[in-house]
Structure 1
């Protein structure tokens, strides 16, 4: 590209293709490749699989998935929106702590939540034992709570983990709403409750919808919690069809149904807001929280802390207690667990580095409005996060096999090396899957950072004779460090706790903390997996604390 790009004629709307552009197109193709492979597997396999799946697997799995999604959507909407309004509209003791504590369940992956509560809520577990002692019963046969291995148990547990997605987006919306709109509604005769439902909730609907959509995508990606709790969802069906029955075509066909469900969810969310605009043209007067006293303050505290206790404190205390008990009994940490921790950190760190570099490259190239493929590439790079891990893994199996065959044949021909699996037989396969899945986080965060850099800085640098590359390294990159750091942190933690894709793509005898925990829970040895679960939760706390601090600073 020439040095005087800024002086090109305005009628020229195409951008010359350079090395960066081809790299960006290559990344976009890599993100699309699993979807294209899935379609090829689904429609090239035996169509008898379709009839069998439509008769025996799809109805039950699809029904369970839709019920689970509907239930989780209701729970996260109630908990997230209620918590957001409580901490925005009311002042009560511990409110300042509660505002960031409500984000803590984000540090607990869904499968760890199920792992913890299966032991805590066991008929011989601590909660039911204490209740029986208080009631004077001596046997589980005399008193027993409903089994947590049920659809209702899965809905409640997933809801208490995923409600922060709604809380985070909705609270920001509540805080930016003008108090004069509520005051106008009160003046027109609305009670405080009527103003909430007729003014506040409609204004916050876009934020609530975005939060629910993110929670439902996480629900679709879940495999551990659903399997632990005995719910046969589409995600679990993909895993069992491929692993237990070695039926790749059948797994791909179920995965197509999952993609249809995901696409439908995203379309419904956007379609419902297509003609709606929410803006306040008046001078903003923020909502002033109403101070509560006495019994009202105690009720507000109880309601506010209830999701935190159920979604974070109980599973965290359980994991700490079980880890201490395990260490006291054995006296040391298993070598396999140490190896799994090292594997987890290594894979997550490498995947984070590559993902951030790719996201930086995409955001930098597509920022040029004359790059006509920019919007398509951004949408494509965001596709991976919307694809559940099991679906992504199934779609990557054939590309991995083709690449391994090509590399192995080439090296055998050139250097007489024995044939082996270079992608699927190493951590490379997992790393590539992580990069595809979490690329949207990197692109979105860095694009947001670039949008906050004034164009005048780049123009001044170019006027002073700096090239585009020099401008990037001297101006943009230093200013992008906060955005890059935040994206890196989120990607690293998400990679550490990723389970679905890791289960399908890990090489033999390769364990991460999430797969170690999954194996121990499947065997029923909960105390063995407690340490691994605690490490994952502690790693997840770091970004949550940073996010909570940023929220606190923005609020005051």
Structure 2
């Protein structure tokens, strides 16, 4: 009976974690019960169709950009031999450490009319007509440079698993190199490419900082303006529910792309030689991508930090760093505990209900931070009003709990993957052997589970911590008074065009983001 009760409690806890994701979604859908005709008429007459068009343009453009960069670079690194391949193989992961909003304001500064690029072009060509630094294509380029590593990482693994034998068999059947790639290698790598593309599209839909820098209105900027500009939380909730439609479309495309597809490992990792001219051209193209996505923005940030002589690095800046670190550590610790418990329940209580609960609990990563922020704020407002009506003066809105809850829901999937993989490394035979030797449950956990799972636990903790510290939309909308972070400070400074002063907090976030990237590349 106690064992059955424990299993019931474990299943209930998994269901409770699933509810953390479902409640904000249901609250957003329920917002349509309160009609906002005047607000919607204003949106229809002014920006709504432009928001839809801009969002679709961004999704299509980023899809093309990350596929071109990610798949081509992955193919070259995995199958071809060219100068610098060994160090470019891991260096091409570095743009993952670059927040999109940081690269965005660096790009605007470099491409602006008074920026170094157009100034030099006018010096070379007196009749140079100039161009707009905030053209929508630059938004696509910026997001593609930051997000291509998602496709590159998974496509590279898929190409490496295929081995050289696949292409050799296609060549024997009369296919040329290009035709063999499109007919054999690319279809076999489709599951990894689809998964990486889905992650890139989720980040694109969730982006707020980069599109704000380029003054490119999407649903995320409209949600913020409805909340803080029109002071209409219900309209923001309805806009957030429309953004969910785009998220669901991206998820459906990802599932469709991987339907009836499986990874196959058919050969060892061998690379093919390339003619010297072609090999150096591949090196040049790969380094050009790395230069634009990481080397150039970091160099520009360093230049600004040195030029301003660390202006702004004072007690307030150190306080921002401390709050950012505290939020990241606190949220990452909580997420790690919940993800570990969910993985434990899923392993030791295999049932359809627990499996579904685990899938729902890890769905939060697909929800943009602005959507979560609105859903949580509406939920907390309703609960607070009901408690106040019952004579319980509890203040939930504007507290730290709402922000931490948004982090937990959003980044549960980030921690669950490494924790579940680490838990799978502990084979049941090891646990049975330890119990046969007389080890207690605490001894098994301390001497078997913990040592074997420690690398995965540390990876999950680090990944979630960095993601929390870089997260902007939810932090901007839900932060309590006096709880500004580095991301919020970057947004405030870039909104005023103070690129130089935003360099120090931006460079700090980039350096922090390098930690999980280096860890991931070393483990791979």
**Is TM more than 0.5 here?**
yes
Counterpart of 1:248 in structure 2 is 233
Which of 301, 326, 329 is residue 319 of structure 1 equivalent to? Answer: 301
Alpha-carbon shift at residue 32 of structure 1 (Å) = 1.9
Per-residue Cα deviation, 1:319-355 (whole angstroms, up to 9, x for no partner): 1111111226x4x613332221111011111000000
Query: What does residue range 26-425 of structure 1 map to in structure 2 within 5 Å?
Result: 26-47=16-37, 49-50=39-40, 52-54=42-44, 56-133=46-123, 135=124, 137=126, 142-279=127-264, 284-292=266-274, 294-327=276-309, 330=311, 333-402=313-382, 404=384, 421=395, 423-425=396-398
Asked whether the 8 Å contact 2:78–2:159 carries over to 1, the reply is: yes
Instruction: Name the CA shift for 1:55/1:286 in 2 (closer, same or farther; >3 Å).
Output: farther
Higher mean C-alpha deviation, range 198-207 or range 285-294: 285-294
47-56 or 469-478: bigger deviation? 47-56
CA distance in 1: counterparts of 2:149 and 2:509, whole angstroms = 18
Map Cα deviations across residues 468-514 of structure 1 (whole Å, 9 max, x no partner): 56533442222111111111111011011000101100122331000
CA distance in 2, matches of 1:277, 1:136: 54
2:457 to 478, 484, 487: 484
Pick closer, same or farther for the CA change 1:100–1:408 going to 2, 3 Å. farther
- Worse-superposed segment, 24-33 or 68-77: 24-33
User: What residue in structure 2 maps to residue 8 of structure 1?
Assistant: none
Q: CA deviation at 1:19?
A: 4.7
**Unmatched runs of 5 consecutive residues or more in structure 2:** none
TM-score of the superposition, structure 2-length normalised? 0.94
**Alignment partners' CA distance in 2, 1:406 and 1:462:** 51
State the SS of the aligned residue for 2:117.
helix
Q: Is the 8 A contact 1:50 1:253 kept in 2?
A: no
From the superposition, tell whether residues 136 and 16 of structure 1 become closer, same or farther in structure 2 (CA, over 3 Å): closer
Distance 1:289 1:272, change over 3 A: closer
Number of aligned pairs?
Answer: 524
CA drift of 1:372 comes to 3.8
Aligned-partner Cα distance in 2 for 1:459–1:358: 26
Given the superposition, is the C-alpha separation of residues 402 and 462 from structure 1 closer, same or farther in structure 2, using an over 3 Å criterion?
farther
Residue 403 of structure 1: how far off its partner (Å): 5.2
Question: TM-score by structure 1 length?
Answer: 0.89
Q: Does 1:523 align with 2:508?
A: no
For residues 304 and 177 of structure 1, do their structure 2 counterparts lie closer, same or farther at Cα, with a shift above 3 Å needed? same
CA distance in structure 1 between the aligned counterparts of 2:277 and 2:256, rounded to whole angstroms: 43
- Asked if 1:497 corresponds to 2:477, the answer is no
How big is the shift at 1:250?
1.1
Q: Which runs of 5+ in 1 are unaligned?
A: 6-13, 414-418, 552-556
User: Alpha-carbon deviation of 1:383?
Assistant: 1.6
- What do you get for the CA RMSD once the two structures are aligned? 2.3
- 1:54 CA drift (Å): 4.9
Q: Distance in 2 between matches of 1:242 and 1:168?
A: 37
User: Which region of structure 1 is more displaced relative to structure 2, 268-277 or 308-317?
Assistant: 268-277
Distance 1:497 1:220 in 2: 16
Q: Deviations over 1:401-423 (max 9, x none)?
A: 3555678899x97xxxxx673x4
- Give the whole-Å Cα distance in 1 for the aligned partners of 2:388 and 2:453: 40
Counterpart in the other structure of 2:415: 442
8 Å contact 2:18–2:361 — kept in the other structure?
yes
How far did residue 195 of structure 1 move? 0.9
User: Which consecutive segments of 4 or more residues in structure 1 shift more than 6 A?
Assistant: 406-410
Q: Displacement, 1:522?
A: 0.5
Structure 1 residues 463 and 407: alpha-carbon distance in aligned structure 2, compared to 1, 3 A threshold: farther
* Secondary structure in 2 matching 1:272: helix
Partner SS, residue 184 of structure 2 = helix
Q: Deviations over 1:193-250 (max 9, x none)?
A: 1111111111111111111110010001100111111211111111111111111111
Deviations 1:380-413 (A, max 9, x none): 1112110000000000013333555678899x97
Q: Which moved more, 1:162-171 or 1:32-41?
A: 32-41
Task: Render the CA deviation track for 1:348-385: whole Å, top value 9, x for unaligned.
Answer: 11000000000011111121354442112111111211
